[in-house]
Amino acid sequence: AHDHAKARPLPSGARDEFLQAIGLADAQGRIRPSMGAKYRQVNQFLGVIEQVVGEGPLAQGPLRLLDCGCGSAYLTFAAYHHLNHTLGREARLVGVDVNPATTAPLRELADRLGWADIAFQVSTIAALELDEPPDLVLSLHACDTATDEAIARGILWGSPAILAAPCCQHELHHQLREPLYRPVLRHGILRERLADLLTDAFRAQLLRIMGYRADVFEFVSPEHTAKNLLIRAQCGLPPGDPQAVAEYRALKGYWGLADVALERLLGPALQPYLEQTP
């Protein structure tokens, strides 16, 4: 256990100004007992960040991070802090949220920490305009189809990597009518979980079609948070893989779905692949 603790990206007891500023650590640098689960979540997320920025086109050079629907942003701030101050990677961060009341305290926190390369925009994800496309798009618990908007923008920008932790997904909830699954669908909680699983499966499959290696996994133990799934997408596949397209069509057809948000948002960039003859 001691060796594992030493390997944490943000170790306890190091008097880390960031961990103190967000309330995870006390003045001596010790992790507060009530914050243990959140501290573990931060470290496990940073492990994923380390892997993603250590491969492919992100392995060298400065990094542009975009946080879509930034909310409390403690995971994104942790990523910025770890990249710049632990790994020595030059990273800039833009956070976007539709609610100005969300971005104001984040600006204050960045100023208090003296972090100059963090900016915030009050905007929808769809309307966001950037001077340069981001290298890494983050969407951490943005509600419902805001996750799809972030993934779509990341793909259309050609961002090398996208990390999305979905939240409260309702898009497919009322579209699921397959008679064989009535024993599942008549129970609200089971319908909800099935809709969540299918939504994330469609997202991962569309990412594959668009040329990303995509996987879905638990980035933190479910005992710490129920919102523990992460979609990790990294560029590197040829787009339009016929098998990926066939699997997507088959799954969508089986469930008789009229609308999949990410497909709609990708629009003309995706359609040529879906229309190709098997």
DSSP string, 111-166: HHHT-TTEEEEES-TTT---SS--SEEEEEEEETTHHHHHHHHHHHHT-SEEEEEE
Determine the pLDDT at residue 222: 61
Structure tokens that stand for 3 in this block: 């060796």
**pLDDT-derived band of residue 142, with 50, 70 and 90 as boundaries?**
low
Q: What's the pLDDT tens digit per position in 155-190?
A: 999 999 999 998 766 778 788 888 888 999 999 999
176-182-183-187 Cα dihedral, nearest 10 degrees: 50
Question: Which of 104-108, 135-139, 216-220 has the weakest average pLDDT?
Answer: 216-220
**Architecture (CATH level 2) of domain 36-275:** 3-Layer(aba) Sandwich (3.40)
Mean pLDDT of the chain: 89
Structure tokens that stand for 189 in this block: 């909680």
Domain locations in the chain? 36-275
Pairing between β-strand 136-143 and β-strand 212-218 as defined by DSSP bridges: unpaired
Let me know: does 228 contact 220? Beta carbons within 8 Å.
Answer: yes
Q: Which tops the pLDDT comparison, 151 or 5?
A: 151
Determine the pLDDT at residue 38: 87
**Confidence (pTM):** 0.92
Residue 278 has pLDDT above 70, yes or no: no
User: What is the C-alpha to C-alpha distance for residues 137 and 122, in angstroms, rounded to an integer?
Assistant: 17
Q: What's the pLDDT tens digit per position in 10-62?
A: 877 677 889 999 889 998 888 999 998 889 889 999 999 999 999 999 999 99
User: What is the C-alpha to C-alpha distance for residues 18 and 109, in angstroms, rounded to an integer?
Assistant: 9
